[in-house]
Structure 1
Amino acid sequence: MQAYTGISTINAAIGGLHVGDMLVQLIFFIILLVLLRKYAWGPIMGMMQKREEYIASEIEAAEKSRAEAEKASQEATKQLKQTKQEAQKIIEDAKSAGVKQEQEIIQSARNEADRIKLAAQEEIQNEKEKAIQALQDQVASLSVLIASKVIEKEISAQDQEKLINEYIKEVGEER
């Protein structure tokens, strides 16, 4: 047994290491490693893997969101530019329509003024003709009256002038 104790104790003078104790400690260490691997290392690595996947998916989602935001920004810029062009075209169309309408109104007003002017000239001409006709009628009636008076009596030059003046006064009073 002494040989066994000699083998089981290696270098007892240094600290007295026993092989049996080392084997027991090695077995407990291996059991501890297996238990740690099964109950701690596996779940910890699983959680770390899930965390890594979560972070990777978040980074991917953030990149995707950034790309979508950039695309939306470009589309918004494009739409804004298109809207500005359309608004400018509408403004130009409205200006040209306004100028055209202004010219039409001016032309219409000129045509109406010409029509009114012609109507007034025609009315003036008609009134002038009526006044001439009325004057001719009065002159004719005066001539008839004077002639009838002359026929009734012969008058001297003074009486004739006096008679004419009286008839002119009568015609003036009739008006």
Structure 2
Amino acid sequence: MMSLGWNLVWTIINLIVLYLLMKKFLIGPVLGIMEKRKACIAKEMEEARVSREKAEELKVQYEKSLAMAKEESSQILENAKTDARQARESIVKNANDEAAKIIEAAQNTARQEQENAMQGAKKEIAQLAMQAAKKLLLEKSNENSNDMLYDKFLAKAGDADDTDSY
């Protein structure tokens, strides 16, 4: 039975040596590789978390920038509408002022022409009256000829008034 005892001892020693050799050359490097891989995964997870946070911050900044751009574009549009409204009002006011000036000038011209026509008619009537008076004095007139000259005078004066009214 002793042979069994020494075999058992040698077997146990062999197992312990095998275990120590495996631990040193197999399990140690495998565990080291696993620890390195675990650390690498943890590092990549941290980097992914940091990248995600940065992406969320950039997204928030982008949304703020987009909102500001929309607000600015609406403000620019409102300013353009206000400027256009003011320009339109200015153009209409200038056009109305110009139209009023043109109407006033036309009225002044019409009044002046009317006054000139009236003065011309007065002069012609005065000349006709002078001619009639001259004829009366030059001719020895009787009552028939006076009536006839008076009728001629009225006819000429009537013709002068008819031409002025047109």
Q: How far 1:160 moved relative to its partner? A: 1.2
Q: How far 1:167 moved relative to its partner? A: 4.0
Residue 136 (structure 1) aligned with residue 127 (structure 2): no
SS in 2 for 1:154: coil
Judged with a 3 Å threshold, the aligned counterparts in structure 2 of structure 1 residues 62 and 114 are, in CA distance, closer, same or farther, namely same
SS in 2 for 1:66: helix
Q: Give the counterpart letter for 1:35 in structure 2.
A: L
Conserved in 1, the CA contact under 8 Å of 2:132 and 2:153? yes
Question: Who wins on radius of gyration, i.e. which is larger?
Answer: 1
Q: 1:159 aligns with which of 148, 156, 160?
A: 148
Q: 2: CA distance between counterparts of 1:120 and 1:158?
A: 44
Residue of structure 2 equivalent to 1:81:
67
Q: 1:145 aligns with which of 125, 131, 147?
A: 131
Q: Give the counterpart letter for 1:85 in structure 2.
A: E
Conserved in 1, the CA contact under 8 Å of 2:125 and 2:157? no
Q: How far 1:48 moved relative to its partner? A: 0.8
Deviations 1:16-42 (A, max 9, x none): x241x2333234323322332233223
Q: Give the counterpart letter for 2:149 in structure 1.
A: Q
Q: 2: CA distance between counterparts of 1:103 and 1:48?
A: 81
Gaps of at least 5 residues in structure 2 are none
Q: 1:54 aligns with which of 15, 32, 40?
A: 40
Q: Give the counterpart letter for 1:164 in structure 2.
A: F
TM-score by length of structure 1 reads: 0.70
* Superposition map of 1:95-106 within 5 A: 95-106=81-92
Residue of structure 1 equivalent to 2:105:
119
TM-score by length of structure 2 reads: 0.73
**The structure with more helix, counted as a fraction of residues:** 2
Q: How far 1:164 moved relative to its partner? A: 2.4
Aligned residues between the structures = 160
> Greater relative contact order (Cα 8 A, min sep 6): structure 1 or 2?
2
Gaps of at least 5 residues in structure 1 are 1-5, 10-16
SS in 2 for 1:68: helix
